[in-house]
C-alpha cells in the first residue's frame, strides 16, 4: 500500500495528470450523480432479492434493506455536495458538448519492426475526455478513462508492444489498440463522439512516408487538416509520436515600432515621389511620438523612425 501511495502522489504532482484526473471525475459525476441513476441501479440490483436479504438479516443481523437504501441516498447527496464545493476551482465544469481534438499525425505504413498508429492532439486550453469516442475506419472504441490534457497528445496503435519496442521508442501516452488497419493506399480517418463528427481526414500516401519511418504530419494544428496541402512528411528519419510535429510552423512575431519611438506622416495626403524608399526626404512630414506599438489614428502614408536612426517604411 505504501508503494501505491507514493506512486499516486508522484503522479498527482504532475499538473497534466491532475487535469486529466479531475476531467474524468467530472464525467463520472455527471453520469452517476446527476438524477437518480445510482439509486435506481441500487433498486435494480437489490429489490429482486429482497426476500433473501431479509433472511440473511434474520440469520446474521445487520441493517435492513430500507436502511441501506437510505444510506445510499444520503451518500449520493453527500458526494454531490462535495463535488459542488470544489467546482470549478478544482473540479472543472461539465465538458463542452462540442469539445474537439485534432487528428495530428498518421503512421499508416511503418518501417519494418514497427507498428502503425495515429495521433490525436488537444489544442484547447482544457483537458478533453474522449472515453467512448469511436474511429470506425480501424474499429476503435476509445476505452474509459482516456483524457487528453490541454495541449497534449494521445496515440492509438495496431500493436502497442510492437510500437514501443520499435524505432519510434516508448516515451509517449498510448490510449489503446485497435483491431483494424490503416490503409496504405489512403482512406478517410474520422473520430466521432456518439453521432457527432469531431474530426475527419482523408489522407493520401506521400513520397517518403512509405515504410521509411517517417509519418504524415499536420503542419500546424490550427490549419484545416481536411486539406492535404496542410500535411507534410515528417522531417525524418523518424516520426514524432506523442509530441509536437517536426513540421510545425514556428510562431512569427515582428516589432512594427518601439514604444516611444517617433514616426512621421504626410498630413497633406499621398506624397509625390518614392516616399517609401529609405532615401526619401521626409523632413517636412509631421512627427508623432508613438503611444502604442500597434495603432494609429491617421490612415495615411507613414514612415516609422525608430531609435538608433533605423527607419522602416510602410502604408497605413
Residue 306 lies in a domain: yes
- The verdict on 55 and 27 lying in the same domain is yes
CA gyration radius, the chain? 30
CA–CA separation, 230 and 162 (whole Å)? 29
- The verdict on 12 and 56 lying in the same domain is yes
Q: Which residues contact 67 (CB under 8 A, 6 or more apart)?
A: none
Query: All 3 cell numbers of residue 245?
Result: 510535429
Domain count, the chain: 3
- The verdict on 71 and 122 lying in the same domain is no
Which residue range forms the structural domain that includes residue 148?
Answer: 102-233
pLDDT at residue number 250: 56
Select from 59, 85, 111 the last residue of a domain: 85
pLDDT at residue number 301: 44
- The verdict on 26 and 81 lying in the same domain is yes
Residue 175 lies in a domain: yes
Residue 248 lies in a domain: no
pLDDT of the chain, 316 residues: tens digit per residue: 556 688 888 888 999 999 999 999 999 999 888 888 889 999 999 999 999 999 999 999 999 999 999 999 999 999 999 999 999 999 999 999 999 999 999 999 998 888 999 999 999 999 999 999 999 999 999 999 999 999 999 999 999 999 888 877 778 899 999 999 999 999 999 999 999 999 999 999 888 888 888 899 999 888 899 999 999 998 866 788 998 888 665 555 555 556 556 667 666 666 767 766 667 777 777 776 655 444 444 334 444 433 333 333 343 3
Asked if 24 contacts 132 with a C-beta cutoff of 8 angstroms, the reply is no
Give the CATH number of the domain where residue 158 resides: 2.60.40.1260
pLDDT at residue number 300: 41
- The verdict on 112 and 213 lying in the same domain is yes
Residue 170 lies in a domain: yes
- The verdict on 106 and 211 lying in the same domain is yes
Per-position DSSP letters for 46-92, written without gaps between them: HGGGHHHHHHHHHHH----HHHHHHHHHHHHHHHHHHHHHTTTTTSP
CA–CA separation, 57 and 167 (whole Å)? 61
Residue 131 lies in a domain: yes
Asked if 50 contacts 56 with a C-beta cutoff of 8 angstroms, the reply is no
Residue 266 lies in a domain: yes
- pTM of this prediction? 0.72
Residue 255 lies in a domain: no
- The verdict on 178 and 274 lying in the same domain is no
36 by Cβ neighbours in 10 Å (0-12 / 13-18 / 19+) ranks as exposed
Residue 92 lies in a domain: no
- The verdict on 129 and 205 lying in the same domain is yes
CA–CA separation, 187 and 45 (whole Å)? 45
Q: Which residues pair with 117 in a beta bridge?
A: 107, 157
- The verdict on 76 and 181 lying in the same domain is no
Select from 57, 85, 113 the last residue of a domain: 85
Amino acid at each position: 500500500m505504501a508503494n501505491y501511495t507514493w506512486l499516486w502522489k508522484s503522479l498527482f504532482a504532475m499538473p497534466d495528470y491532475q487535469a486529466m484526473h479531475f476531467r474524468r471525475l467530472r464525467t463520472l459525476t455527471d453520469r452517476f450523480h446527476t438524477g437518480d441513476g445510482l439509486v435506481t441501479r441500487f433498486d435494480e440490483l437489490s429489490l429482486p432479492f429482497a426476500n433473501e436479504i431479509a433472511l440473511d438479516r434474520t440469520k446474521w443481523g445487520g441493517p435492513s434493506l430500507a436502511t441501506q437504501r437510505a444510506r445510499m441516498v444520503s451518500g449520493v447527496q453527500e458526494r454531490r455536495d462535495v463535488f459542488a464545493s470544489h467546482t470549478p476551482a478544482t473540479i472543472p465544469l461539465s465538458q463542452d458538448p462540442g469539445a474537439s481534438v485534432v487528428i495530428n499525425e498518421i503512421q499508416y505504413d511503418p518501417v519494418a519492426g514497427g507498428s502503425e498508429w495515429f495521433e490525436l492532439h488537444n489544442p484547447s486550453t482544457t483537458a478533453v475526455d474522449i472515453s467512448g469516442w469511436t474511429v470506425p475506419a480501424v474499429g476503435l472504441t476509445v476505452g474509459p478513462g482516456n483524457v487528453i490534457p490541454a495541449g497534449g497528445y494521445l496515440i492509438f496503435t495496431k500493436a502497442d508492444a510492437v510500437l514501443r519496442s520499435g524505432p519510434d521508442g516508448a516515451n509517449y501516452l498510448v490510449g489503446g489498440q485497435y483491431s483494424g488497419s490503416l490503409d496504405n493506399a489512403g482512406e478517410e480517418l474520422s473520430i466521432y463522439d456518439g453521432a457527432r463528427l469531431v474530426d475527419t481526414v482523408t489522407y493520401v500516401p506521400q513520397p517518403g512516408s512509405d515504410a521509411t519511418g517517417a509519418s504524415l504530419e499536420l503542419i500546424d494544428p490550427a490549419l484545416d487538416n481536411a486539406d492535404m496541402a496542410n500535411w507534410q512528411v515528417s522531417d525524418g528519419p523518424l516520426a514524432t509520436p506523442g509530441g509536437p510535429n517536426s513540421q510545425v510552423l514556428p510562431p512569427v512575431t515582428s516589432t512594427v515600432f518601439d514604444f516611444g519611438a517617433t514616426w512621421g506622416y504626410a498630413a497633406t495626403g499621398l506624397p509625390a515621389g518614392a516616399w517609401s524608399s529609405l532615401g526619401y526626404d521626409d523632413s517636412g512630414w509631421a512627427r508623432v511620438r508613438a503611444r502604442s506599438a500597434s495603432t494609429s489614428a491617421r490612415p495615411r502614408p507613414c514612415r516609422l523612425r525608430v531609435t538608433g536612426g533605423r527607419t522602416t517604411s510602410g502604408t497605413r
